Amino acid sequence: MRASTPATVQADRAIVDILRAMGARVTAGDGFVEAESTGSLEAVEADLRDSPDLAPAVAAVAAHARGVTVLKGVEHLAFKESNRLESITGALRAVGVEAWADGGRIFIRGGRIRGGRASAYSDHRIAMMLAVAAAAAEGPVEIVGAERIRDSYPQFLDHLSSLGVEAEVVAGP
């Protein structure tokens, strides 16, 4: 997939087309992108070779989509802040989502997010992925290592809370 809007040289703009392909209503303008569910999201096959940092975000949305989403071109995720092939799938499995990696691809069967306790694998993007997935979980999600979110997006939980998602960071043992 190649993004057509908004006009930017950033490879991560692919999120616009990915969300649209999943069935989200997306509005893109000068300096902003707004997305909302239309009620039912569908699985997609997305090539993230040029935008690997999107993998956790797309995985969070895929956890809510009907069917099996396939993230291709992600073999190099094994060499990020965590081995994201393992951390994405392991974190999602911990909250009840069927997810696995095979042959440089990640597979996520969306639908039911049970809730539970999951590790962020000391990776800020995995912590944010879990927080987004938790927004529609059947039960609470405890994210071990959620404080890592501050590494890249200190206002993330405040912004998530402004959307109606209850989130807080509590001191661990």
Catalytic annotation present for 158 = no
What angle separates helix 84-94 from helix 124-134, to the nearest 10 degrees?
30
Distances (CA, A) of 49 to 24, 41, 72, 125, 171: 22, 23, 7, 17, 36
Q: Tell me which residue has tokens 């990915």.
A: 18
Active-site residue, selected from the candidate residues 47, 53, 123, 158: 53
Counting Cα atoms < 13 Å in the Cβ hemisphere of 54 gives 23
Name the residues annotated as catalytic: 53
